[in-house]
Structure 1
Amino acid sequence: MKLFSGTINTLENSLKYSTLKQNVISQNIANVDTPNYKAKEVLKPSFSSELKSAMQANRTDSRHMEFSNSTQSKFPVVSKPSSLYNHNGNSVDIDKEMSELAENQIYYNALIDRLNGKFNTLKTVVTGGRH
C-alpha cells in the first residue's frame, strides 16, 4: 500500500524539474557576458518516456512486461539551438531568460501551493477534522 497518492509523486517530480530549470536559467543569466558561452535549457520528458515510467510504476505482477529504465537523466540539460549570437559568441538572450525565470517562478509557486493543499488534506484526515 502506498502512503501517498500518485499526485504527490507527480508534484514531487514537477518540483524537481522546476528546480533544475531555475538553476539552468540562473546559470545562463550569470554567464550573459561570458565569451562563447552557449545558453542551456532543460528538456521536458517526452510522452512516451512518461508512459513507460507510469507503466513500470503500475506493474502489479512479475509476469507483466517490464520496461527498462533509461540511463539518461529524466530531465536532460542541453545547449539551446540558437543562431543568434552576441558579438562575443555568447548565445544568452537576457530578456528571454528573465521571462523564463518569471514563468518558472510562477509554476514553482503553483506547485508548492498544490502540494501544501494535499498535505493539509492529509492532516485533516489524520486529525479527524480537529485542529
Structure 2
Amino acid sequence: MKIFSDSFSNLEKGLDYSALKQKVIANNIANADTPNYKSKDVSFKEIFDETKANELTAHRTDSRHFSFHSSASHPAIMTNRNLSFNQNGNSVDVDKEMADLATNQIYYNALADRISGKFTSLSNIIKGGR
C-alpha cells in the first residue's frame, strides 16, 4: 500500500537536484582563480531522464520508435572544457555563477515551501481538520 503520493518523492528529487547544483556552483566560485580549472554544471535533462524513464510505459508499434529506457545511472555533472574566460585557462564566469546561484536558491526555496505545505496538509488531515 502506498501511503504518500508521488508528489513527495518528486519534490524530494527536486531538492536533491537543487542541493547538487548548489554544491557544483559553490565549487565553481571557490575555484574562480584556480589556473586551468574548468567550470562544471549539472544536467537537469540527465537527472530527469534517470528518474522518469523507468516510470513511463508505452507500446512501440515500430522498432524505429524511441524506447523509454534511460542509460543514465548517476546525476550528470558536466565539465565545460571548450570555454576559457581568463588567460590562465580558467573557465569560471563569476557573474554567471552568482546568477545561477540566485536562481537555484529561488528554486530550492519554492520546493521547500511546497513540501512544507504538503506536510502541513497531511498534519491537518491526521488531526482531523483541527
| TM-score normalised by length of structure 2 | 0.82
Q: How much identity, in percent, do the aligned residues show? A: 50
Q: For 1:16, what is the secondary structure of its paired residue?
A: helix
1:78 deviation in Å? 1.1
**2:109: which partner in 1?**
109
Q: Could you tell me how far apart the structure 2 residues matched to 1:97 and 1:103 are? A: 10
**Offset from partner CA, 1:70-107 (integer Å, 9 cap, x none):** 4620x211102543331111000000000000000000
The total of aligned residue pairs comes to 119
Q: Could you tell me how far apart the structure 1 residues matched to 2:73 and 2:80 are? A: 18
Structure 1 unaligned segments of length 5 or more: list them. Answer: 57-66
**Offset from partner CA, 1:31-82 (integer Å, 9 cap, x none):** 00000000000001356545423238xxxxxxxxxx8774620x21110254
Q: Does 1:54 align with 2:55?
A: yes
Q: Could you tell me how far apart the structure 2 residues matched to 1:42 and 1:123 are? A: 34
| TM-score normalised by length of structure 1 | 0.81
Aligned pairs (5 A) from 1:1-131: 1-46=1-46, 49-55=50-56, 70=71, 72-73=73-74, 75-80=75-80, 82-130=82-130
Runs of 4+ off more than 3 Å: 46-51, 67-71
Q: Could you tell me how far apart the structure 1 residues matched to 2:91 and 2:97 are? A: 11
1:110 deviation in Å? 0.2
Q: Could you tell me how far apart the structure 1 residues matched to 2:81 and 2:55 are? A: 30
Structure 2 unaligned segments of length 5 or more: list them. Answer: 58-67
Q: Could you tell me how far apart the structure 1 residues matched to 2:79 and 2:126 are? A: 47
Root-mean-square deviation (CA), in Å? 2.1
Q: What amino acid sits opposite 1:119 in the alignment?
A: F
